[in-house]
Amino acid sequence: MRFMVIVKASADTEAGVMPSTEMLTAMGKFNEEMASAGVIQAGEGLHPTSKGARIKFAGGDPVVTDGPFAVTNDLVAGFWLIEVASKDEAIAWMKRAPFDGGAEIEIRQVFSAEDFGEALTPELREQEDRLRRQSASL
Amino acid sequence: MRFMMLMIPAGYETAAPGTVPDDVERFAAMMEYNKALLEAGVLITCDGLHPPSMGARVSFPSGGPVVTDGPFAEAKEVLGGYWMIDVASREAAIEWASKCPASADEVIEIRQVQEINDFPADVQALTDGYDVMQTTAQRLG
């Protein structure tokens, strides 16, 4: 099963504050552990929303708004993609992440083709399979 | 330049476990969009996410990690999925996002992905010892 682990933004991440050397070192070790266990598929940080934009689809032309956006509990600072046997295993791994203080992560299961049900017609399923094969594999 | 296009569907924060897309036409339109991204050579990867009611959160107060199962009552916006694309500029990313067959209650947030080179030299030096970061960057880049 694949999971996206969303690392929530904070005032610090939005301000571009670099984590401490200790934190970066600990995080590097944690990433290596996940890699050795064959769990990690990807791990990325995102630049603050001040470099970002939002597009609203109001029914007419899409409306673009430049960041920054309010630091709520819903902004994303980074993420991992992991592959594990169960949600419990995902949680067990993530409890070991060397976060401190007010950090929060959210674990979300990724849709696999089997999960989509009837909306994924045989034709679309074939297209989806082709997409998976042809896009860069993580 | 790599960008994430984060799909934020209004109302997904209260979607029940097991919610799946049920609009075949819309689903097919989204698949066509994914195909267009792929054929243009800009798609790195994309995924849909099961709703937060099937997820969990982990926070890290001083006493040790605390796990909370979804749903999360106070969430106002949640991710429904994402694309990672590789394009020449922020404007190109915005242009691609604007072509998404999204519905009126959806918002796409564009975020530039941090590359190793974006970090100060001393931070880059820290990551030199860690194969996984180089390999991941190579695989994705």
Calpha distance B52→B73 (Å, rounded): 10
Which residue of B lies nearest to A69 if distances are taken between CA atoms? B109
Structural domain boundaries in chain B: 2-116
CB B109, CB A54: distance < 8 Å: yes
Q: Which residue has the higher pLDDT, B140 or B103?
A: B103
Record the tokens describing residue A103, joined without a space: 């950090």
Calpha distance B38→A136 (Å, rounded): 10
Task: Give me the residue label for tokens 């075949």.
Answer: B24
**Torsions phi, psi for A57 (to 5 deg):** -110, 85
Is the pLDDT reported for residue B16 higher than 90?
yes
Cα B95 to its chain centre, rounded Å, is 17
Calpha distance B88→B108 (Å, rounded): 19
Q: What is the pLDDT of residue A136?
A: 58
**Domain A2-112: assigned CATH number:** 3.30.70.1060
Q: What is the pLDDT of residue A42?
A: 95
CB A83, CB A1: distance < 8 Å: yes
The nearest CA of chain A is from the CA of B88 a distance in Å of 15
- Residues in CB range of A102: below 8 A, 6 or more apart: A10, B59, B60, B61
Looking at residue A45, the DSSP 8-state letter turns out to be E
Q: What is the pLDDT of residue B137?
A: 44
Distances (CA, A) of A43 to A80, A98, B76: 4, 15, 25
User: Position A25: which residue type?
Assistant: T
Q: Is the predicted ipTM greater than 0.90, yes or no?
A: yes
**Domain B2-116: assigned CATH number:** 3.30.70.1060
pTM, entire model: 0.92
Q: Is the CB of A108 less than 8 angstroms away from the CB of B50?
A: yes
The nearest CA of chain A is from the CA of B76 a distance in Å of 7
Q: What is the pLDDT of residue B131?
A: 53
CB A81, CB A3: distance < 8 Å: yes
Return the residue in A49, A95, A106 with the most chain B beta carbons within 10 A, the one to mutate for interface testing.
Answer: A106
Q: Does residue A125 belong to the interface with chain B, where contact is any CB pair within 8 Å?
A: no
What's the mean pLDDT in B14-35? 92
Q: Does residue A95 belong to the interface with chain B, where contact is any CB pair within 8 Å?
A: yes
Q: What angle do CA A99, A101, A106 make, to 5 degrees?
A: 55
Name the nearest CA neighbour of B52 among B22, B79, B83, B74.
B79
Among B94, B114, B135, select the one facing A53 at the smallest CB separation. Answer: B94
Q: In what order do the strands lie in the sheet with B2-9?
A: A63-66, A53-56, B106-112, B2-9, B81-86, B43-48
Q: What is the pLDDT of residue B128?
A: 66
User: Position B122: which residue type?
Assistant: D
Q: Is the CB of B45 less than 8 angstroms away from the CB of A111?
A: no
Structural domain boundaries in chain A: 2-112
Q: How sure is the predictor about B130, in pLDDT bands with cuts at 50, 70 and 90?
A: low
What's the mean pLDDT in A38-49? 96
Q: Is the CB of B103 less than 8 angstroms away from the CB of A57?
A: yes
Give percent above pLDDT 70 in chain A.
Answer: 98
Residues of B in contact with A56 (CB under 8 A): 107
The nearest CA of chain A is from the CA of B52 a distance in Å of 6
